[in-house]
């Protein structure tokens, strides 16, 4: 077995090709570091280039680290290394320019505008303002005002308020221990070590207590047309809590489901929202809640709902095609998470009744049904997130014990 | 079984696995070969029952190496994954030293933190030298452990050494062959994946699955094995919550041969469906007309 020289990878046309290919992959959205390029060159040396499939498998093993990148890789590979008859040619074929694969086009202008211009409803806004101005100060008006009726300036104000929201650390006891004087478990290792100071006499007993961590949050946000006035603010809200906690996954759904967790990780909210909007193709269209929930349950449920996750379903529940499938998928979602909180902006209306078929189907399967249309209700939500789990979950745990 | 040398090529790896009854896709053999050649951990992700754990067992047997398995679970910590001090033995040692009249504290502390009081857990065992060559370390279902453990693992996988504060640093003379599996109940952090060679293990094609069933279920008739594989392949095309894996196919084929079945009948399938589908919703969907249709396709002579 020959040893591989990690410091001096091979050079020449093959190196150019691999470097160019890595660039193409980066442009297509697969993160490829320089370390991986060196690995790839070494690996190609380790196999004898003579078989396209082997080269493919080799490069794939090194460049692809996520299942969802496999398709992109396959396309990029085919584009970059055109079906060459003889693989020996790879060594001296001319490298392609590095824009072999373009990034997906950013969201259309309509999307940009939909995001940039929160709509205002002049008359309603006027009326409500009149009503409230009699009794409360400006700040409180902002607290209670419906997001859908705010002017651009007020939206900016609210966005700032959201950014300053602090999530109390919701406690979820993990199965990991740390030194804790009030703990219940004996820490023999530290007890013994401290006993050595007194010549082996155990004087003080060291204890361990459980580490508590905030529960992971999974947000499913409806971005259909009927929700468009709220979408942007909810994204701000989700960005604010993503910043505060490590484990928040965010999915947007309209006619299809998109995972925007990574896009929301950018520090700057505007940057985060921009990269969100570029990854979603169906802003402000129709809703297909059942289909979206189905694909969430099938593709993501088991991957993000572990470790006692809380699910926030943010939707108005206005689904035309409400049938048994919707109830079934809601039920599955409910049974696979610790708590399912449904946030519905429609609840702002005093006389709100669940008349829509979809809402009736979904209601039996949620632990909590809350309004979320102004700052006050968002603050209420934050309190709810840190509350202990509802009683029926506790009883379920007890009966299992 | 003597230790055999590492395979010299992808074909060699394929032969090695096949000789042990593991019929791998060529892409999987390529990645496994590269992971041996480059000394990188192999990270296998895929649905349950597609043979991720199996490859570690087969590799260790074929190479004549020791297999060390670490099954992950939530709350897995250093004490159960790497090492632990045997406090009971240490306390006895302290009492004995007292009885013998040794009062030298320095001596006492170096005595009770000696190697004989160290309980070695899988990760530490994998770093120990072995006459047969470095062992195969299988870290199974990493997604069940929490992020804190993953971070610790990253440290071990980068330099294959463990530092024990009271004892010193233990370094592996030869790094073990590491195979990590995940069922994706949680996304593993990119930092760890970057260290590894990644492979998504998929369900096999019909032809390969048929070969697997024939090699794993001796005594199954050609007709039945063909019907079983066709039936399972058809199930995977349906939109089930949990499609049957290869392990389920083998289980089912074994169950059918135990029942002396010659070919599939609706009655037989209905009674044994629990070997294939593990969710009540999925089983409920596979009744009546759907079952008849899939069965008809699977048993039709071509």
pLDDT in tens, A149-170: 666 666 777 777 776 666 655 5
Q: What is the reported pLDDT for A352?
A: 61
Q: What is the pLDDT of residue A162?
A: 73
Distance from CA of B300 to the nearest CA of A (A): 31
CA A168, A239, A145: angle at the middle one, nearest 5? Answer: 80
Query: B198: which chain A residues are within 8 Å (Cβ-Cβ)?
Result: 61, 64-66
B25 φ, ψ (degrees, to nearest 5): -65, 150
A199/chain B closest Cα distance in angstroms: 6
DSSP state of A392: H
pLDDT at A397 over 50: no
In chain B, what is the greatest distance between 2 CA atoms, to the nearest angstrom?
Answer: 87
Contact flag A65-B190 (C-beta cutoff 8 Å): yes
Q: Which of A33, A38, A44, A61 to mutate to test the interface with B (most CBs of B within 10 A)?
A: A61
- Residue A46, both tokens: 């380790």
Residue bearing the bigger pLDDT, B8 or A89: B8
The DSSP symbol for B213 reads H
Average pLDDT over residues A293-320: 84
The residue in chain B having the minimum alpha-carbon distance to the alpha carbon of residue A62 is B197
pLDDT value at B280 more than 80: yes
Per CB-CB distance under 8 Å, the chain B contacts of A199 are 98, 103, 105, 108
> Rounded distance, CA B133 to CA A235, Å?
54
Q: What is the pLDDT of residue A141?
A: 62
Distance from CA of A89 to the nearest CA of B (A): 21
The residue with greater pLDDT, A308 or A89, is A308
8 Å CB contact between B179 and B107: no
**Facing A64 at nearest CB: one of B143, B198, B239:** B198
Residue B85: its chain A contacts at CB < 8 A? 188-189, 192
d(CA B65, CA A293): 46
Q: Lowest-confidence range among A4-8, A343-347, A362-366?
A: A4-8
Q: Determine the residue of chain B that is closest to A247 in CA distance.
A: B147
Tell me: pLDDT of A394 over 70: no
Q: Is the pLDDT of residue A15 over 70?
A: yes
Rounded CA separation A174/A176 (Å): 5
- Structure tokens given for A233: 């603010």
Task: Give the residue from chain A lying closest to B27, CA to CA.
Answer: A57
Q: A-chain residues within 8 Å CB-CB of B34?
A: 43, 46-47, 58, 61-62
Residue A193: pLDDT over 60: yes
CA B84: distance to chain centroid?
A: 24
Q: Which residue of B has its CA nearest to A211?
A: B75
pLDDT at B40 (0 to 100): 92
Alpha-helix runs per DSSP H in A81-137:
109-116, 122-133
> Which range (A100-109, A234-243, B62-71, B227-236) has the least confidence?
A100-109
A47–B112: do the CB atoms touch at under 8 Å? no
Question: How high is the pLDDT of residue B67?
Answer: 96
From the CA of A55, how many Å to the nearest CA of chain B?
Answer: 9
Highest mean pLDDT among A11-25, A140-154, A167-181, B226-240: B226-240
Nearest CA in chain A to B75: A175
8 Å CB contact of A61 and B143: no
Specify the higher pLDDT residue, A310 or A94: A310
**Shortest distance, CA B27 to any CA of chain A (angstroms):** 5
Q: What is the pLDDT of residue B2?
A: 44
Give the pLDDT of residue A127. 43
Q: Cβ–Cβ of A303/B148 closer than 8 Å?
A: no
pLDDT in tens, A60-99: 999 988 776 777 788 788 777 764 444 455 544 444 333 3
Q: How far is B142 from chain A (nearest CA, A)?
A: 13
Give the alpha-carbon dihedral of B122, B16, B44, A334, to 10 degrees.
-90
User: Can you tell me the mean pLDDT for B58-84?
Assistant: 92
Distance in angstroms between the alpha carbons of the first and the last residue of chain B: 44
**pLDDT value for A375:** 75
Statement: residue B58 has pLDDT above 90: yes
List of chain B residues whose C-beta atoms are within 8 Å of the C-beta of residue A9: none
**Greater pLDDT, A216 or A131:** A216
What is the percent of chain A where pLDDT is above 70? 63
Q: E strands of chain B, at which residues?
A: 42-46, 67-71, 83-85, 118-120, 136-140, 161-164, 168-171, 177-182, 197-201
Residue that wins the pLDDT comparison between A326 and B41: B41
Show residues of chain A in contact with B197, CB under 8 Å.
61-62
pLDDT in tens, B11-27: 999 999 999 989 999 99
Range with the poorest average pLDDT among A124-128, A192-196, A394-398, B180-184: A394-398
Helix ranges restricted to H, A64-195: 70-80, 109-116, 122-133, 138-144, 152-163, 188-195
Question: What predicted TM-score, i.e. pTM, was given to this entire model?
Answer: 0.74
Dist. CA A75–CA A72, nearest whole Å: 5
CA-closest candidate to residue B81, choices B135, B131, B150: B150
Per-residue pLDDT band for A243 (boundaries 50, 70, 90) equals low
Structure tokens at B214: 């024939």
How far A59 CA lies from chain B's nearest CA (Å)?
10
Instruction: Name the pairing type of β-strands B136-140 and A257-259.
Output: unpaired
Mean pLDDT of the region A324-341 = 88
- Which residue does chain B place closest to A54, by CA atoms? B30
Q: CB B108 to CB A200 under 8 A? A: yes
Nearest to A1 among B6, B98, B197 (CB): B6
* Window from A204-218, A280-294, A379-393, B56-70 with minimum mean pLDDT: A379-393
For residue B185, pLDDT over 60 is answered with yes
Tokens matching residue A93:
């074929």
Which of A105-109, A275-279, B37-41, B75-79 has the weakest average pLDDT?
A105-109
Average pLDDT over residues A235-241: 79
pLDDT tens digit sequence for B86-108: 999 998 988 888 888 877 777 88
| pLDDT tens digit sequence for B125-171 | 999 998 988 999 999 999 989 888 998 899 898 889 999 988 899 99
Q: Is residue B228 predicted with pLDDT exceeding 90?
A: yes
Q: B281 to chain A: which residues are within 8 Å by CB?
A: 328, 332
Residues A378-401 have a mean pLDDT of 56
pLDDT at B258: 92
Average pLDDT over residues B60-80: 92
Which residues in chain B are closer than 8 Å to A195, comparing Cβ atoms?
Answer: 94
So what's the pLDDT on residue B209?
94
pLDDT, tens digit (0-9, with 9 covering 90-100), for A249-306: 889 887 778 888 877 776 666 676 777 666 666 666 667 788 889 889 988 888 888 7
| pLDDT(A111) > 60 | no
Band (A355; pLDDT cuts 50, 70, 90): low
pLDDT at A113: 34
- Are B112 and B43 in contact by the 8 Å Cβ rule? The answer is no
Q: What percent of chain A has pLDDT over 90?
A: 2
Q: Do B85 and A192 touch (CB under 8 A)?
A: yes
* pLDDT value of residue A140: 59
In the predicted structure, residue A386 carries a pLDDT above the cut 50: yes
Mean pLDDT, chain B, rounded, equals: 90
For chain B, percent of residues with pLDDT exceeding 90: 57
Q: Is residue B187 within 8 Å of residue A303, measured between CB atoms?
A: yes
pLDDT at position A235: 81
Give the pLDDT of residue A282.
Answer: 63
* Per-residue pLDDT at B256: 93
Angle between helices A188-195 and B87-99 (to 10 degrees): 20
Q: What are phi and psi for residue A273, nearest 5 degrees?
A: -65, -35
pLDDT of residue B254: 94
């Amino acid at each position: 077995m020959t040893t591989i020289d990690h410091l001096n990878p091979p050079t020449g046309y093959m190196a150019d090709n691999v470097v160019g290919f890595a660039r193409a992959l980066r442009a297509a959205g697969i993160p490829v570091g320089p370390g991986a390029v060196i690995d790839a060159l070494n690996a190609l040396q380790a196999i004898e280039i003579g078989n396209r499939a082997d080269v493919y498998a080799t490069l794939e093993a090194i460049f692809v680290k996520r299942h969802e990148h496999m398709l992109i890789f396959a396309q990029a590979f085919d584009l970059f290394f055109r079906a060459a008859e003889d693989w020996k040619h790879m060594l001296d074929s001319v490298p392609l320019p590095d824009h072999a694969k373009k990034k997906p086009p950013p969201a259309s202008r309509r999307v940009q505008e939909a995001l940039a211009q929160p709509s205002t409803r002049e008359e309603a806004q006027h009326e409500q303002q009149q009503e409230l101005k009699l009794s409360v100060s400006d700040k409180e008006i902002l607290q209670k005002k419906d997001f859908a009726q705010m002017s651009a300036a007020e939206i900016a104000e609210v966005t700032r308020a959201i950014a300053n929201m602090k999530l109390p650390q919701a406690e979820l006891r993990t199965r990991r221990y740390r030194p804790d004087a009030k703990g219940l478990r004996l820490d023999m290792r530290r007890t013994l070590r401290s006993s050595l100071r007194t010549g082996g006499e155990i004087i003080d007993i060291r204890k361990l207590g459980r580490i508590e961590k905030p529960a992971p949050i999974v947000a499913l946000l409806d971005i259909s047309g009927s929700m468009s006035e709220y979408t942007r603010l909810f994204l701000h809200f989700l960005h604010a809590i993503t910043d505060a906690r490590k484990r928040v996954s965010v999915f947007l759904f309209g006619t299809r489901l998109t995972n925007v967790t990574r896009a929301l990780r950018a520090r700057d909210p505007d940057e985060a929202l921009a990269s969100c909007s570029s990854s979603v193709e169906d802003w402000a269209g129709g809703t297909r809640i059942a289909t979206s929930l189905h694909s969430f349950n099938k593709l993501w449920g088991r991957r993000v709902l572990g470790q006692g996750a809380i699910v926030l379903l943010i939707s108005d529940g206005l689904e035309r095609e409400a049938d048994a499938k919707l109830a079934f998928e809601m039920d599955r979602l409910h049974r696979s998470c610790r708590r399912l909180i449904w946030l519905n902006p429609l609840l702002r209306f005093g006389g709100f009744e669940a008349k829509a078929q979809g809402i009736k189907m979904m209601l039996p399967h949620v632990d909590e049904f809350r309004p979320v249309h102004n700052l006050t209700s968002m603050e209420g939500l934050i309190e709810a997130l840190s509350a202990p789990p509802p009683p029926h979950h506790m009883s379920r745990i007890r009966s299992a014990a | 079984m003597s230790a055999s040398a590492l395979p010299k090529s992808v074909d060699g790896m394929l032969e090695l696995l096949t000789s042990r009854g593991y019929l791998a896709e060529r892409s999987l053999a390529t990645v496994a070969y590269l992971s041996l050649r480059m000394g990188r951990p192999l990270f296998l992700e895929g649905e349950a029952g597609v043979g991720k754990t199996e490859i570690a067992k087969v590799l260790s047997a074929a190479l004549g190496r020791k297999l060390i398995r670490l099954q992950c679970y939530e709350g897995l910590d250093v004490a159960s994954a790497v090492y632990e001090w045997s406090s009971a033995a240490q306390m006895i040692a302290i009492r004995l030293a007292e009885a013998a009249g040794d009062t030298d504290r320095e001596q006492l502390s170096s005595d009770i933190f000696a190697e004989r009081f160290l309980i070695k857990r899988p990760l530490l065992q994998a770093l120990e030298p072995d006459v047969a060559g470095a062992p195969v370390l299988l870290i199974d279902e990493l997604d069940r452990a929490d992020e804190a453990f993953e971070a610790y693992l990253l440290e071990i996988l980068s330099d294959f050494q463990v530092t024990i504060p009271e004892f010193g640093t233990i370094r592996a003379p030869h790094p073990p062959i590491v195979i990590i599996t995940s069922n994706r109940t949680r996304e593993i952090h990119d930092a760890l994946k970057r260290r590894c060679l990644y492979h998504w293990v998929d369900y096999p094609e019909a032809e390969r699955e048929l070969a697997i069933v024939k090699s794993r279920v001796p005594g199954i008739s050609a007709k039945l094995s063909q019907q079983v594989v066709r039936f399972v392949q058809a199930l995977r095309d349906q939109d089930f919550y949990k499609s049957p894996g290869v392990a389920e196919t083998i289980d089912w084929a074994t169950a059918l041969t135990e029942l002396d079945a010659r070919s599939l009948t609706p009655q037989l399938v209905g009674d044994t469906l629990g070997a294939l589908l593990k969710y009540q919703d999925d089983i409920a969907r596979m009744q009546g007309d759907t079952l008849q249709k899939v069965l008809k396709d699977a048993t039709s002579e071509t």
